[in-house]
Amino acid sequence: MFEKVLIANRGEVALRIHRACREMGIRTVAVHSEADANAMHVRLADEAVCIGPAKSADSYLNKPAIITAAHITGADAIHPGFGFLSENADFAEMVEKHGIAFIGPTSAQMRLMGDKITARIAAIDAGLPVTPGSPALDSLEDALSWAEKIGYPVIIKAKDGGGGKGMKIAFNENELSEAYTMARAEAKAAFTSDVVYMEKYLQNPRHIEMQILADKYGNVVHLGERDCSIQRNNQKVIEECPSPALNDAERKKIGEIVRKAIEKIGYTSAGTLEFLYENGQFYFMEMNTRLQVEHPITEAITGIDLVREQIRIASGAALGYTQDDIIFNGHAIECRINAEDPETFAPCPGKIVEWHAPGGLGVRVDSEIYSGYTIPPYYDSMIAKLIIHGKTRNSALMRLRRALEECIIMGVKTTIPLHQEIISQAEYIDGQYNIHWLEKFMENNKK
């Protein structure tokens, strides 16, 4: 087992990784920007190294600085968390070449599944159901030709995309020209590559993802699905598991398809396969080769610590259990709480005057904030995750309603009122929603 892990991230995920390491008897190193000198994970880590100024490009995305920090402190492994360099194959390869363990898949696996075009090919070869789509598009003429074959509406996607960037929809030929141009420009700005491809656009799907764990000896398990359909601008807002849209037979079927596909691909570590689900059919979109923001709800219903398992797998340990050993217990829901105006979604950095976290049975809060903490304006606005577990979906919803009422964050605006409004709607209570539901609900509320 590793003796010292460097945490190449910030915020609540850095604290989450620190906690898992300490419970395993592993010492931790926090790297941080100048803006995060007073962050909670920096305070709690065994060692801390400042790796640059506030700007992410000069700190959390600074590969040489992070690897140098690992050498200086004698860390024998690096955990990238999520975001930043977590799916950067070049960084993973640099870590490997420096004789440091990367807590995640290999750089080769990351390249295969991180490139959405090669991932589609690998998914097809592995037997996963995929959305009708194209290879990389060479020109507008190529895009027009593929759109004719696939059938409108279509969606243009960035090869290296994520977080909704580089995605544009076209319902007809006239819209495709603008969608193609805008998607390429957005992809170039966000990911430095303007390579895009095309898929059939499903109009009313749900977003369902499957969590997997795979060790270095060919053992693979799936840990069930998460429903991430409550979204705004392709950004997840509330997630739950299991999905209210699936029955046990569907769940078992897609789970076994995913498990066998991962075996065939030869992937190791934790990973998530994302699907669109419409009219009883699953369509593979992409694979996230990292820990997901919403991983706690899977932990709640399985009792498996995903960060601990990532560390164990990277150290060479076997899973120690099979699919038959995985037992799903109850229902879990996660709300992402952002420091944003709940109506305009404008970021609201600033000093937290008072912070009171909700508690009680089945309530978990993952957050790095504290009373007196100043939220910096340089990074993502998510400041907390509220995770609720109950025996049934209804009991989880009732507990979530109570927990949101108890959650007090003073000094900055947050999205707590939005979460309270969402979970009070009949469609959400009944589980009758898709990926467009939240934006339509918000638009109707403006009228």
- CATH number, domain containing residue 77: 3.40.50.20
HSE at residue 445, side-chain half, CA atoms within 13 A, is 13
Q: In terms of domains, do 323 and 411 share one?
A: yes
Of 409, 368, 347, 357, nearest to 13 by C-alpha is 368
Q: In terms of domains, do 161 and 252 share one?
A: no
Q: In terms of domains, do 180 and 212 share one?
A: no
172 in any annotated domain: yes
Rg (CA), the chain: 21
Q: What are the distances in angstroms from CA 286 to CA 5, 32, 140, 398, 403?
A: 29, 30, 24, 33, 33
What CATH number is attached to the domain comprising 436? 3.30.470.20
What pLDDT score does 447 carry? 63
216 in any annotated domain: yes
127 in any annotated domain: no
Of 432, 410, 381, 314, nearest to 11 by C-alpha is 381
- Intra-chain end-to-end CA distance of the chain, in Å: 58
Q: In terms of domains, do 181 and 285 share one?
A: no
CA distance 192 to 354: 40
* pTM, rounded to two decimals: 0.92
Structure tokens at 225: 């699905």
| Residue 31 three-state SS | strand
What CATH number is attached to the domain comprising 178? 3.30.1490.20
E-only strand ranges, 242-368 = 269-278, 281-288, 331-338, 350-351, 354-356, 363-367
323 in any annotated domain: yes
| Residue 278 three-state SS | strand
Q: Going by C-beta distance under 8 Å and a sequence separation of 6 or more, which residues neighbour residue 188?
A: 194
Q: In terms of domains, do 70 and 188 share one?
A: no
Residues recognised as catalytic: 290
Q: Select from 85, 100, 115 the last residue of a domain.
A: 100
CA distance 375 to 350: 5
242: preceding bond cis by omega (within 30 degrees): yes
Amino acid at 140: L
Q: Select from 147, 170, 200 the last residue of a domain.
A: 200
Q: What are the distances in angstroms from CA 430 to CA 68, 236, 242, 394, 424?
A: 52, 19, 14, 9, 10
327 in any annotated domain: yes
Q: Going by C-beta distance under 8 Å and a sequence separation of 6 or more, which residues neighbour residue 82?
A: 9, 13, 290, 291, 292, 293
What pLDDT score does 191 carry? 87
Of 298, 304, 327, 331, nearest to 399 by C-alpha is 331
Asked whether the CA dihedral 194, 198, 204, 205 is positive or negative, the reply is negative
What angle, 0 to 180 degrees and rounded to 10, lies between the N-to-C axes of helices 140-150 and 173-191? Answer: 120
Q: Select from 178, 200, 222 the last residue of a domain.
A: 200
123 in any annotated domain: no
Q: In terms of domains, do 241 and 356 share one?
A: yes
Q: In terms of domains, do 235 and 366 share one?
A: yes
357 in any annotated domain: yes
Q: In terms of domains, do 65 and 156 share one?
A: no
Q: Which residues of the chain have pLDDT under 70?
A: 163, 447
| Residue 339 three-state SS | coil
Give the DSSP letter of residue 312.
Answer: H
Q: State the residue range of the domain holding 217.
A: 206-446
Q: In terms of domains, do 20 and 166 share one?
A: no
The number of domains in the chain is 3
87 in any annotated domain: yes
CA geometry: angle at 332 spanning 239 and 219, to 5°? 90
Contact yes or no for 210/225 (Cβ under 8 A) = yes
Q: In terms of domains, do 153 and 256 share one?
A: no
What pLDDT score does 116 carry? 83
Q: In terms of domains, do 290 and 154 share one?
A: no
Q: In terms of domains, do 139 and 153 share one?
A: yes
Give the DSSP letter of residue 200.
Answer: E
E-only strand ranges, 216-328 = 220-232, 235-241, 269-278, 281-288
CA distance 259 to 235: 26
DSSP-derived pairing of the beta strands 27-33 and 47-52: parallel
